[in-house]
Structure 1
Amino acid sequence: MPITVGVMGMKSVALRAASVFTHPAPPHDFLALFNPLSSARQLRGVVTAVRPETPQSTTIAFRPGNGWSPHDAGQWARIGVEIDGVRQWRSYSLSAPAGSDPEITVTACGKVSAHLAHETRVGDIFFLAPPQGDFVLPTGPRPLLMLTAGSGITPVMSMIRTLVPRRPDADVVLIHSARDRESTLFATELAELSEQYDGLHVIHRFTGEDGRIDFSDAADLDALCPDWRSRKTYVCGPSEMLDAAESLWTNANLPDTLTVERFATATYAEVDGATGGTVTFEKSDREIEADGTTPLLEVGEEAGVLMPSGCRMGICRTCLTPLLSGQVRDLRTGEINATEGDLIQTCISAAAGNCHLDV
């Protein structure tokens, strides 16, 4: 009687046979010597293009390995990069259109972003986490207003690149603020797109010359986009701009038509004499001395631990990690938590003595 072996069974047999030759390393690790994107434990991507955008900003395209989920326009992803032998993780909006290989556009601000913007080369390897986020396009056609400032244009650029060339009924007004013309991201491409497609109208606001948009009342917005009240609006930029826009839309009884993307750290309470301790990352087998003011998320990332994270400001709860023992401090309130088994938010918690985390 013939024996039938399924595809999964054949794969399992092949892996066991290969392990004879790769022992003590598993076959996946041996394969990674020849294909750096092949890893059963960590999603990776290889840099395929590096394009300067401004003197301080760079677009980096990469090809992800198996396990990457195609992104929706406007989403972000966590990117890991090795710096001085330590794996650093940060979250970046994806600027490429949906359905294409991902890209990030990075402005040199901070250690990791500066490294990516100035030191990345074609062929470099990124460590990746799948894209996420709900700052995405509406499901049906409707007029849109995009309010952006500085690098806040990055997720919106993904939306524009996705929507405008593919939808003849697109109706998008983009109002983008930048310090000056030289620091304006995607200026040439936006000019070409607005020239080619009637559905895109671009307004640049150079704050060094024109000042910032005043959201204390509707006068500035009425002048820039008279029909803003009838549009679905997306806003991304500095916290002050987002807060002011939310207030204006609330006062206009239109809060449901506004979608905000925030990239800001949490506000921490001042705690005099806060002491830290030894943080043990149990699953990663790492022990790190930490002060009492640095978020545990950053402590782990600096030590090369793969830490779950999302918003990095205490909202999305993606970073929840079990506290196995010890105690931590909520950096927003100063409250101490010493309850074993509690899920703590590592992005807004610091060591308050020795502690053990299940990561």
Structure 2
Amino acid sequence: MGLLKWSKRPAAGVEARAPGVNVLRGLVARATTPLLPDDYLHLINPLWSARELRGKVLDVTKETDDSATVTIRTGWGFPENYKPGQYVGIGLQIDGRWHWRSYSLTSIGSSEQDKTIAVTVKANPDGFLSSHLVDGVSPGTIIRLQSPRGDFHLPEPVPGKILFVTAGSGITPVIAMLRQLRSHGQTPDIVHIHSAPTREDVIFLDEMEQLADEAEKYELNLQLTREMGKFDVSRMDEWAPDWRERECWACGPVALLDAMEAHYEDGGLRERLHIERFTIARTDHGGEGGTVRFAISDKEVEVDGATTLLEAGEDLGIQMPFGCRMGICQTCVVPLAGGYVRDLRTGEERREGERIQTCISAVSGECTLDL
């Protein structure tokens, strides 16, 4: 057992499809010390890495003026199977610095013959990486990946009656679910409410309307907000009179999801609602801002009370652990080595010695992380 651990240790941080893969990676790393196996593997194929998951951008296809689908060839060790609705972490090097974000997969699973995935990204005016993926990334670019994660997916068996409520880029995990159902020949009774400013802003409009024309049990209700007003949860009985009988998956802006949660809680049906948030559900209780020190990296930065510790580290080029970036998956949990931070969702203050989530915590005065 000691020899096995010694063999695997150089590749211990890499998720693999089979445990034996990391034994091979570890032995390669041991044999090439002091050089990493990547120094050699990269010369053969840039997608081969013994210490990280990689991908290569194959194509960028515009969906709307401000959104695009990015198709990626996955490299050595990327899981072949994932659940439509899950998200994947993507790292892109821009001007010498790695930028990371998570995006919902819009593909439905790769095979041994077709090791590709796809994400559909909507450019956010305040989102540096999203804008670059939509308008700046070139085919052939090598990126870093994290394994798919997330609980926002359909169960097995699939419910007989489903309600999808989406808005804007919130359609991305749901389109993957719809594609999965169609590819498997599954035909549950689906009511889909989707909100966007105009028809031109609806991502996958043609695909959803074709599905509505061809599938007897798929009903699409478009709420075009510039002419119809914003989504109003009080109209649920109008769009889906039997919504109380349906399992609901909802994804979109914070205000829509907050309204959905309140509506289902008031009806005593919260367990029927499944939500995917793309941003933190913040309160007004941010941190005070201050100095964040990264002890191992020997870096520090002054940030405001709205900047998360995860964002602060990434802006300095530090490799920060992360997953959902919304305080759900616990991947970013680290001990607070010193100082104080505040939870952006609850306003609760944490202090030295406590374990914190960097994706939802902001500095209060000063803090130190062993990263």
Cα deviation per residue 1:191-215 (whole Å; 9 max; x = unaligned)? 2223333332222111111112321
Q: Match for 2:70: what amino acid?
A: I
2:147 to 112, 130, 133: 130
Cα deviation per residue 1:16-52 (whole Å; 9 max; x = unaligned)? 8973xxx752333221133111111221111112110
- Uncovered stretches (5+) of structure 2, i.e. residues with no partner: 1-19
Moved over 3 A (4+): 10-19, 313-316, 350-356
Aligned to 1:247: 262
TM-score (norm: length of structure 2): 0.83
Distance in 1 separating the partners of 2:146 and 2:133: 17
SS, match of residue 183 in structure 2: coil
Q: Match for 2:132: what amino acid?
A: H
SS, match of residue 88 in structure 1: strand
Q: Please report the RMSD computed on the Cα atoms of aligned residues, expressed in angstroms.
A: 2.6
CA contact (8 A) 2:55 2:142 kept: yes
Q: Match for 1:337: what amino acid?
A: R
Q: Among all aligned residue pairs of Structure 1 and Structure 2, give the percentage whose two residues are the same amino acid.
A: 40
Query: Which stretch has the larger CA shift, 10-19 or 72-81?
Result: 10-19
2:303 to 276, 281, 291: 291
Aligned to 1:319: 332
1:267 to 277, 283, 293: 283
Distance in 1 separating the partners of 2:161 and 2:153: 14
Cα pair distance change 1:201/1:337, threshold 3 Å: same
Distance in 2 separating the partners of 1:12 and 1:315: 31
Distance in 2 separating the partners of 1:211 and 1:17: 62
Distance in 2 separating the partners of 1:335 and 1:207: 39
Aligned to 1:207: 225
CA contact (8 A) 1:164 1:199 kept: no
Cα deviation per residue 1:307-357 (whole Å; 9 max; x = unaligned)? 122333334432101233x21321533735123xx3221123334566442
Distance in 2 separating the partners of 1:13 and 1:130: 19
Distance in 2 separating the partners of 1:322 and 1:37: 33
CA contact (8 A) 1:276 1:350 kept: no
Q: Look at both structures and tell me which one has the larger radius of gyration over its CA atoms.
A: 1
CA contact (8 A) 1:280 1:286 kept: yes
Cα pair distance change 1:254/1:85, threshold 3 Å: same
Task: Report how many residues are paired.
Answer: 339
Q: Match for 2:285: what amino acid?
A: A
CA contact (8 A) 2:292 2:309 kept: no
Cα pair distance change 1:286/1:50, threshold 3 Å: farther
Distance in 1 separating the partners of 2:326 and 2:283: 8
Q: Match for 2:327: what amino acid?
A: G
Cα deviation per residue 1:93-147 (whole Å; 9 max; x = unaligned)? 1111234632111111011111111012211112111111101102113211101
Aligned to 2:94: 83
Q: Match for 1:36: what amino acid?
A: P
Distance in 2 separating the partners of 1:307 and 1:11: 26
Q: Match for 1:124: what amino acid?
A: T
Aligned to 1:279: 293
SS, match of residue 45 in structure 2: coil
Query: Which stretch has the larger CA shift, 348-357 or 178-187?
Result: 348-357
Aligned to 1:41: 51
Q: Is 2:88 the counterpart of 1:50? A: no
Distance in 1 separating the partners of 2:146 and 2:167: 26
Aligned to 2:42: 32
Aligned to 2:9: none
CA contact (8 A) 1:82 1:88 kept: yes
- Uncovered stretches (5+) of structure 1, i.e. residues with no partner: 1-6
Shift of 1:80: 0.8
CA contact (8 A) 1:268 1:331 kept: no
Query: Which stretch has the larger CA shift, 258-267 or 195-204?
Result: 195-204
CA contact (8 A) 2:29 2:36 kept: no
Shift of 1:292: 4.9
1:302 to 315, 321, 324: 315
Q: Is 2:107 the counterpart of 1:96? A: yes
Distance in 2 separating the partners of 1:16 and 1:138: 40
Shift of 1:268: 5.0
CA contact (8 A) 2:104 2:119 kept: yes
CA contact (8 A) 2:90 2:145 kept: yes
